[in-house]
Structure formats: C-alpha cells, structure tokens
Structure 1
Amino acid sequence: MMTREQIFETLNEVFRDVFDDVGIQVDESTTSKDIEEWDSLEHINLLAAVEQEFGVKFNMGQVVSMKNVGEMADIIMSQIAH
C-alpha cells in the first residue's frame, strides 16, 4: 500500500516526464495554472500517464471534478486501496 507521500513522489516523476521539466514539484494545491505547459491536450497525456503509472482508471466524473493534484492523489489512493 502506497503512502500519500509516495504517491506524490511518483506523481512528481510523472509530471516531470510529461512536461519534460525536472524542476516541477507538485503538491496538494497544484493546478494547471501553476504549470505553464499544462493545457487541455497535455491534461489528457498527463491523465493517461498517471493511469498507466499507478494502474488506475479515472472516470469522466473524476476527471471533470478534479480541481488540483491533491484531489488526483485522493482518487489514486481510493483506487489502489481496493
């Protein structure tokens, strides 16, 4: 079972890969406004990469309601807990 801290460590790696920026550091409150390259197209790439990395699947409701990286982590935690 991953801890929330481990999820964020892994999310940081995924974000750095997707946006090709080793300086990215995401936290609970990070949103697309905080990362210049994070547009709607990159959002799709990001979600696909996160799903692949964690072996989870986001449903449309989750995708639409996700307001920040903390909420993304919540969804990942709830899915890998089962």
Structure 2
Amino acid sequence: MTRSEITETLTGLFRDIFYDDDLVLHDEMTANDVEAWTSLTHINLILAVEEAFEIKIRSNEIEKLTNVKALIDLLESKLG
C-alpha cells in the first residue's frame, strides 16, 4: 500500500470518527488541530485504523504517535 493510499484511507477514517466531511489531513496535524478530538475519539480512531488496515498497534507505538505523519510512517512500516 502506498503512502498516498494510506493517507486516503486515513482521511476517510478521520472524517468518520470526527464527523467532519471537510477534514483534510496534513503531516503536522495533531489532536490540538481537531476540535472533536478527545481521549474517547482517539481510542475510536486507533481501533478504526487497526480494523481498516488489519494490523495491531501496541501501546508503546501509540505513545509515539505525535502527529499524522507519525501514524502514516507507522502504517507504512507495518504494511511494507
């Protein structure tokens, strides 16, 4: 799966989780950039990512997800 395909899939997940059809992902995006991003939506997002990409994200990996780029990088490494 290419980085572009990962980003496209993530965009759909983010839009669904945060109920924002206009949400556009960018590498430096963090929870602070999305008004609806709470601890509960964060958990829902991780679960949705795991299901969509058929992977498991360990807790120590979640701790390192400081922005969208880090999430995409992690997905690339797991899917590559």
* 1:56 maps onto 2:31 in alignment: no
Letter in 2 for 1:4: R
DSSP-derived class of the 1:57 partner: coil
When normalised by structure 1's length, the TM-score is 0.93
* Structure 1 residue 48: Cα displacement: 0.3
Q: Report the Cα offset of residue 54 of structure 1.
A: 0.7
Give 1:19 deviation, angstroms: 1.0
User: 1: distance between equivalents of 2:35 and 2:8?
Assistant: 20
**Structural mapping, 1:1-82, within 5 Å:** 2-81=1-80
Unaligned 5+ runs, structure 2: none
SS of alignment partner, residue 37 of structure 1: coil
Gaps of 5+ in 1: none
TM-score by length of 2: 0.95
Conserved 8 A contact 1:29-1:68: yes
Q: Percent identity?
A: 39
Pairwise CA distance, 1:57 = 0.9
| Paired positions, count | 80
RMSD, aligned α-carbons: 0.7
- The answer to whether the 8 A contact 1:8-1:27 is kept is no
Structure 1 position 27, deviation (Å)? 1.5
Equivalent AA in structure 2 for residue 75 of structure 1: L
